[in-house]
Amino acid sequence: MLELKHIKKYYHVGDTVTKAQDDVSVAFREKEFVAILGPSGSGKTTMLNIIGGLDRYDSGDLLIKGKSTKGFKDADWDAYRNNSVGFIFQSYNLISHLGIIENVEMGMTLSGVPAATRRQKAEEALIRVGLNQHMHKKINQLSGGQMQRVAIARAIASDPEILLADEPTGALDSETSNEIMQLIKDLSKERLVIMVTHNPELAHQYADRIIEFADGKIQNDSHPHIEGAKADNFKLTRTKMSYWTALKLSWTNIRTKKGRTFLTVFASSIGIISIAIVLALSNGFQKQIDKTQSEAMSSMPITISQVGSDTSAMTGTTTKKFSKADTVTAEKSDADKAQHVNKITNKYINYVKDIPAKYTKNIAITYGTGMNLIRQVDGKYKTVSFSNSNPDSQTVDTASMMANATGVGGSVYPINSDGKQTFLKTYYKVIAGNYPKSATDIVLVVNKDNSININALKNLGISVKENEKLDFDKLVSTTVKVVANNDYYTKLPTGNFVPDNNYDGMATKANTKTLRVTGIIRVKSKNSDGLLASGVAYSSQLTKEVLNTNKDSEIVKAQKATPTKNIMTGQTMDASTANGLLTMLGGSSKPTTIQIYPTTFKDKDHVLNYLDKYNKGKNKNDKVIYTDLAGTVSDMTGGLMDAITYVLIAFAAISLITSMIMISIITYTSVIERTKEIGVLKALGARKRDITRVFNAETFILGFGAGLFGIAVAYLATFPINSVLANVTGLNGVAVLNPMHAIVLVLVSTVLTILGGHIPARMAAKKDAAIALRSE
């Protein structure tokens, strides 16, 4: 069955050589009970370990059923231990964090025997050793004799051909020793049992054959056996521990040290917690910044006016040098030099309309035209305006000059090029009535406190006193009529045109449009305050329609025929005043302004590049110059946020690395603690890889746990953080944990802890089984 041929095993420690096996040759029968007797240190355990494949011989050969083991690889030895050998130790070597049945099943678990078969065989083995009453107890609830019975059950559970026992009764009293010896004797009827003992009485009483050992040599053999030549009929099934088994094994081990596990998980999660919070905050701040930026963009559009200001043409007084000449030079002022008349052609308008849609929220093209507005007050029609200037004031203030420039006053809100109304819906909410739907719908814009410029109301013909409160109903549905030039002006015999004063008659003319106040609106957020002035606002579409009606009217034709003479007063005018008048009369189809609202600061740069491209290669006069109101407000904030985030993450990463080192130390401690268990697992046939797997599984559980715990804590922390931030900054819901970040962080935690624990796990796997089992 088994044959040792000239086995030698020397231990070299310093200069001394211990000959643990000094040319041992012996053969064993298939079924017999062999006792090995000898003094301590004579090499008995070494021989047993060599026979059982736990230790390697230096030279000689071990033949198993006639097969030489000289060419055995690690995997062969692992399989041999698992398939053919059962070990019993003096100190039982049970795995204390597993139950009795799990201990007995372990060898079969390692070789992948299905659970049901495993359980059945384990129970049979436990019955065989007389433990049917105690199967469901915990290891530490058993007596020494009972523990040794569990160990025997474990050794025989998969019915091995060889049972090796190293001083199995060494720790037991004589009565229990006898019971155990009897049990082993019974088991030897079915297999080869080799038992080491230092008790000659027990050996003589129970064993069939006694081998006396001393100084690494066999001194005497009571019943020698000569193994004849045997055909090699030895087969092995490889063992393989599943990941699931490794996880279960580690899980039960972790459960026995709950306190320490919790502290480890908690400490390791600190890195994850800090990174998660930093990410959540920067995420939220970035969103806030983007929102603020986007709102800022809406109040600071890129503006293209009929007359632009070319700042590059300005020289500035500071750059001027003292002159030595005795002449005076006549020079244009900087402001005049910078003045540039933009040729806003249809080609240019189409070019602007072709800006990639993703870069802009809105392109508002305003056509300047006056509107002949009348409204019925106290039963009679009279002229009104949308202006905010004081109707009682005699002096012409800047506001009314502006009103003249754009024709009629009031604010113009943009309509998307596809005709949809998103501007108002984005920035304004309706506090009475509805959003405007058609070109003839107008709105009243009020401030945050519902106040409105009193002049706007007075100019509409509504009689109000200062601080008077008006019901929404009184204002919503107010109507104003726009009269076409041909109905509004009459030609005098002198050839001049003057407004007709039959306003009631105008109200019913076919070309007269009725404008209706559909609602009162107010900014949604204080950041977009000031997009539209308080007062009347109407759509850019209305201007277009009025333009269409008036562009070929009699007065416009007449004015165009006499460009330098004011057709209403007969006075001569300069070119710019003439142009202003023609625009006001609706005779100019050129837009007065084009306003481009980029989506974000970054998009603004794209838009500017796009506009600059138009000017490339064009001569100075054909260039179109824009004003970038937001030009000075750079995108600093975004970059700053990124920088802060990186610094904070770097700090947090340090704590992550600290936890990694800690996990590594903890795994190392665990490896030391579980040295015995590693030895037992190896004795049961575990491969190196299985041992690595067990420890990797442990670090996986710790790392994954720490990740989950960290994310949970970080998530919960966002609530108090947000409430503090809301109190301090007034921003709501800043810290938002991105689920994607959470998943990645759990993965990072798991991977890092596995990496941290991997070296100790490899150390564990490399542990010499024989040495591991000798450790206490």
User: What is the contact surface with ligand ADP in residues (CB under 6 A)?
Assistant: 11, 13, 18, 20, 38, 40-46, 771
Q: How far apart are CA 298 and CA 595, in angstroms?
A: 10
| CB nearer ligand ADP, residue 196 or residue 384 | 196
Least distance (Å) from ligand ADP to the CB of residue 32?
Answer: 21
**Residue 719 touches which member of ligand ADP, Mg ion, none, C-beta under 5-8 Å by kind:** none
Locate tokens 């519902």: which residue?
Answer: 450
Least distance (Å) from ligand ADP to the CB of residue 41?
Answer: 4
How does DSSP assign 361-395, residue by residue? EEEEEEE----EEEEEETTEEEE-----S-TT--S
Binding region for Mg ion (CB under 5 A) out of 44-52, 431-439, 480-488, 712-720: 44-52
| CB nearer ligand ADP, residue 42 or residue 699 | 42
Least distance (Å) from ligand ADP to the CB of residue 148?
Answer: 18
| CB nearer ligand ADP, residue 45 or residue 453 | 45
Q: Is 46 an interacting residue with respect to Mg ion (CB under 5 A)?
A: no
Nearest in space to 611 (alpha carbons), one of 358, 346, 352, 416: 352
| CB nearer Mg ion, residue 45 or residue 362 | 45
**Residue 575 touches which member of ligand ADP, Mg ion, none, C-beta under 5-8 Å by kind:** none
Count of CA atoms in the C-beta half-sphere (13 A) of 83? 14
**Residue 398 touches which member of Mg ion, ligand ADP, none, C-beta under 5-8 Å by kind:** none
Which tokens in the block code for residue 194?
A: 């080799």
Distances (CA, A) of 366 to 211, 424, 470, 572, 736: 113, 16, 31, 28, 41
Q: Is 49 an interacting residue with respect to Mg ion (CB under 5 A)?
A: no
Binding region for Mg ion (CB under 5 A) out of 45-53, 330-338, 470-478, 626-634: 45-53
Least distance (Å) from ligand ADP to the CB of residue 7?
Answer: 12
Least distance (Å) from ligand ADP to the CB of residue 216?
Answer: 7
Least distance (Å) from ligand ADP to the CB of residue 12?
Answer: 8
Sign of CA dihedral 635, 637, 638, 640: positive
Q: How far apart are CA 405 and CA 593, in angstroms?
A: 12
**Residue 750 touches which member of Mg ion, ligand ADP, none, C-beta under 5-8 Å by kind:** none
| CB nearer Mg ion, residue 37 or residue 192 | 37
**Residue 621 touches which member of ligand ADP, Mg ion, none, C-beta under 5-8 Å by kind:** none
| CB nearer ligand ADP, residue 41 or residue 563 | 41
Number of residues that bind Mg ion (CB under 5 A): 1
3-class secondary-structure state, position 627:
strand
**Residue 11 touches which member of Mg ion, ligand ADP, none, C-beta under 5-8 Å by kind:** ligand ADP
| CB nearer Mg ion, residue 213 or residue 715 | 213
| CB nearer ligand ADP, residue 55 or residue 690 | 55
* Cβ atoms 81, 72 nearer than 8 A: no
Least distance (Å) from Mg ion to the CB of residue 203?
Answer: 15
Q: How far apart are CA 150 and CA 94, in angstroms?
A: 8
Alpha carbon 12 to its chain centroid, in Å, reads: 57
| CB nearer Mg ion, residue 45 or residue 366 | 45
Least distance (Å) from ligand ADP to the CB of residue 175?
Answer: 25
Least distance (Å) from ligand ADP to the CB of residue 214?
Answer: 9
Q: How far apart are CA 732 and CA 641, in angstroms?
A: 18
| CB nearer Mg ion, residue 194 or residue 761 | 194
Q: Is 45 an interacting residue with respect to Mg ion (CB under 5 A)?
A: yes
Within 10 angstroms of residue 79's Cβ, the number of other Cβ atoms is 22
Q: Is 42 an interacting residue with respect to Mg ion (CB under 5 A)?
A: no
Least distance (Å) from ligand ADP to the CB of residue 55?
Answer: 8
Task: Tell me the Cα Rg of the chain.
Answer: 49
**Residue 588 touches which member of ligand ADP, Mg ion, none, C-beta under 5-8 Å by kind:** none
Of all residues in the shown chain, the one whose CB is closest to ligand ADP is 45
**Residue 740 touches which member of Mg ion, ligand ADP, none, C-beta under 5-8 Å by kind:** none
**Residue 46 touches which member of ligand ADP, Mg ion, none, C-beta under 5-8 Å by kind:** ligand ADP
| CB nearer ligand ADP, residue 42 or residue 103 | 42
Nearest in space to 755 (alpha carbons), one of 375, 268, 285: 268
* Cβ atoms 99, 136 nearer than 8 A: yes
Q: Which residues pair with 66 in a beta bridge?
A: none
Report the DSSP pairing between strands 192-197 and 162-166: parallel
Q: How far apart are CA 183 and CA 745, in angstroms?
A: 56
Least distance (Å) from ligand ADP to the CB of residue 33?
Answer: 19
Distances (CA, A) of 728 to 285, 439, 721, 725: 14, 44, 11, 5
Tell me the one-letter amino acid at 757. Answer: G
Where does residue 494 fall: left (phi above 0), alpha (psi -120 to 50 degrees), or beta otherwise?
Answer: alpha
Which tokens in the block code for residue 697?
A: 């599984």
* Cβ atoms 24, 49 nearer than 8 A: no
**Residues of the shown chain interacting with Mg ion in the complex, contacts defined by CB under 5 A:** 45
